[in-house]
């Protein structure tokens, strides 16, 4: 008696053909040899051709933000009151305005040439500010420039608004630092390379009196760090200007503040180029003494900054500062304009934020 095939028809009924030796009929034997997959309930299979169309999930590489490059500067314009009081030279208000216009023209030329975002200015009198505003109305697109003038402390900050958004920060009362009028503080948003970076820019003009200058600087750095840790200003900051202290003094004072507060990401820019000119000294009896020529030039303009900012380059204008008299010289007994309209250089710092 022939055995019945163990295979099944497409309608699910048992195959009625006789089985061969392997218990399948000739048709189901052929299907078995081809290894046609059997589909069980709750199970799915995919042919080889289908498997090549399966979506392949890949991890998109993280895009590293492009570094942001920007420049800031500081400039001490030398007001005529300071000139008249501390040198053997003197000038009228009209003479000072002529010199101020010369300084403004040079400053704006360098701002445009180097694309400087912000310039902190010291010793800015009402006359200088008025001349600057008048020049702006005639020569500068109003929307590109913002000036913040502090008449009490003779300070101004110039902002090129093309890549900036800015907010002036009101000073906070603290008992240990009553002389905050020599600071201007701004929270900036720098818009470049499709990015926006938050940064605080601080313009400083330190005291020149030996009995208070280091104390003022220490309290100023302490105050800035307090604003930073309390969130009033951004974590990344730049502080530049006429510190009225040389680099060695600033290093000592800054290190003391770093140690006292436990801060580790502040840096004093270690650059020794002379940036200020002081040829005469006013003696206690009201007379002027000429200092030795080796002491005419010094470095009073300093820079303090925080990680992750890096200084890529520094440029001092004029480049030949120590070979010229600034801003005036005597020629045959008469006072004439020198090669540079200030007793300080324009100091340009190029930063990268990566």
pLDDT single digits (tens) 99-154: 999 999 999 999 989 999 999 999 999 999 999 999 887 766 656 788 999 888 89
In a domain, 256, yes or no: yes
Neighbours of 147 (CB within 10 A): 14
Tell me if residue 115 falls in helix, strand or coil: coil
Q: What is the pLDDT, as a whole number, of residue 135? A: 87
Tell me the average pLDDT across 249-262: 96
Q: Are residues 208 and 270 in the same domain?
A: yes
For residue 30, cis peptide bond before it (omega within 30 degrees of 0) = no
Q: Are residues 12 and 104 in the same domain?
A: no
Q: How confident is the model at residue 2 (pLDDT cuts 50, 70, 90)?
A: low
Q: Are residues 117 and 16 in the same domain?
A: no
Q: Are residues 146 and 13 in the same domain?
A: no
Taking 90 as the threshold, does the pLDDT of residue 157 lie above it?
Answer: yes
User: Which of 34-43, 113-122, 281-290 tops mean pLDDT?
Assistant: 113-122
- Determine what percent of the chain is predicted with pLDDT higher than 90: 50
Higher pLDDT, 282 or 27: 282
- Characterize the bridge pairing of strands 237-242 and 195-205: parallel
Full residue range of the structural domain in which residue 131 is found: 79-353
Q: Note the pLDDT tens digit of each residue in 221-255.
A: 999 999 999 999 999 999 999 999 999 999 999 99
Q: What is the pLDDT, as a whole number, of residue 140? A: 64
* Paired tokens of 347: 């100091």
Q: What is the pLDDT, as a whole number, of residue 76? A: 95
Q: Are residues 308 and 178 in the same domain?
A: yes
In a domain, 45, yes or no: no
Tell me the average pLDDT across 59-73: 84
For residue 65, cis peptide bond before it (omega within 30 degrees of 0) = no
Q: What is the pLDDT, as a whole number, of residue 21? A: 66
* Paired tokens of 172: 């906070």
Q: What is the pLDDT, as a whole number, of residue 55? A: 64
Q: What is the pLDDT, as a whole number, of residue 230? A: 94
Match 């820079």 to its residue by tokens.
303
When the pLDDT of each residue in the chain is averaged and rounded to a whole number, the result is: 85
Q: What is the pLDDT, as a whole number, of residue 217? A: 95
Q: What is the pLDDT, as a whole number, of residue 36? A: 39
CATH of residue 203: 3.60.10.10
Q: What is the pLDDT, as a whole number, of residue 49? A: 47
Taking 80 as the threshold, does the pLDDT of residue 20 lie above it?
Answer: no
Q: Are residues 176 and 92 in the same domain?
A: yes
**Where is average pLDDT lowest: 95-109, 159-173, 251-265?**
159-173
Match 């030398």 to its residue by tokens.
78
Tell me the average pLDDT across 28-51: 48
Q: Are residues 17 and 121 in the same domain?
A: no
Q: What is the pLDDT, as a whole number, of residue 46? A: 46
Q: Are residues 101 and 17 in the same domain?
A: no
Q: Are residues 204 and 336 in the same domain?
A: yes
Q: How confident is the model at residue 53 (pLDDT cuts 50, 70, 90)?
A: low
Q: Backbone dihedral region of 192: left (phi > 0), alpha (psi from -120 to 50 degrees) or beta?
A: beta
Rounded CA-CA distance 139/162 in Å is 16
Closest CA to 167 of 199, 142, 205: 199
Taking 70 as the threshold, does the pLDDT of residue 266 lie above it?
Answer: yes
Match 């900054």 to its residue by tokens.
305
Count of the separate structural domains present in the chain: 2
Q: Are residues 202 and 333 in the same domain?
A: yes
In a domain, 217, yes or no: yes
Q: Are residues 160 and 286 in the same domain?
A: yes
Closest CA to 174 of 252, 97, 232, 108: 232
């Amino acid at each position: 008696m022939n055995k019945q095939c163990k295979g099944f028809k497409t309608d699910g009924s048992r195959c009625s053909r006789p089985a061969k030796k392997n218990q399948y009929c000739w048709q189901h034997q052929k299907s078995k040899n081809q290894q046609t997959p059997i589909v069980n309930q709750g199970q799915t299979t995919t042919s080889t051709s289908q498997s090549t169309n399966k979506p392949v999930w890949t991890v998109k590489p993280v895009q590293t933000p492009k570094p942001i490059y920007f420049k800031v500067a500081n400039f001490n314009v030398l007001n005529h009151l300071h000139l008249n009081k501390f040198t053997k030279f003197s000038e009228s208000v009209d003479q000072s305005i002529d010199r101020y216009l010369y300084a403004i023209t040079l400053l704006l030329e360098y701002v445009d040439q180097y694309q400087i975002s912000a310039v902190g200015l010291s010793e800015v009198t009402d006359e200088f500010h008025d001349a600057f505003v008048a020049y702006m109305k005639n020569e500068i697109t109003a929307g590109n420039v913002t000036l913040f003038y502090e008449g009490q402390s003779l300070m101004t900050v110039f902002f090129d608004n093309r890549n900036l958004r800015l907010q002036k920060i009101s000073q906070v009362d603290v008992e240990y630092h009553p002389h905050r009028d020599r600071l201007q503080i701004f929270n900036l948003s720098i818009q470049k390379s499709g990015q926006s970076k938050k940064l605080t820019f601080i313009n400083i003009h330190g005291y020149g009196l030996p009995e208070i200058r280091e104390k003022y600087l220490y309290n100023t750095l302490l105050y800035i760090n307090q604003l930073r840790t309390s969130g009033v200003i951004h974590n990344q900051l730049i502080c530049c200007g006429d510190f009225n202290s040389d680099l060695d003094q600033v290093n000592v004072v800054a290190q003391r503040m770093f140690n006292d507060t436990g801060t580790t990401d502040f840096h004093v820019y270690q650059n020794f180029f002379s940036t200020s000119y002081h040829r005469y000294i006013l003696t206690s009896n009201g007379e002027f003494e000429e200092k030795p020529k080796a002491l005419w030039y010094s470095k009073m303009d300093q820079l303090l900054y925080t990680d992750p900012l890096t200084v890529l380059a520094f440029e001092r204008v004029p480049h030949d500062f120590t070979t010229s008299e600034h801003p005036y010289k005597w020629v045959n007994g008469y006072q004439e304009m020198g090669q540079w309209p200030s007793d300080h250089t324009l100091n340009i710092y190029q930063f990268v934020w990566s």
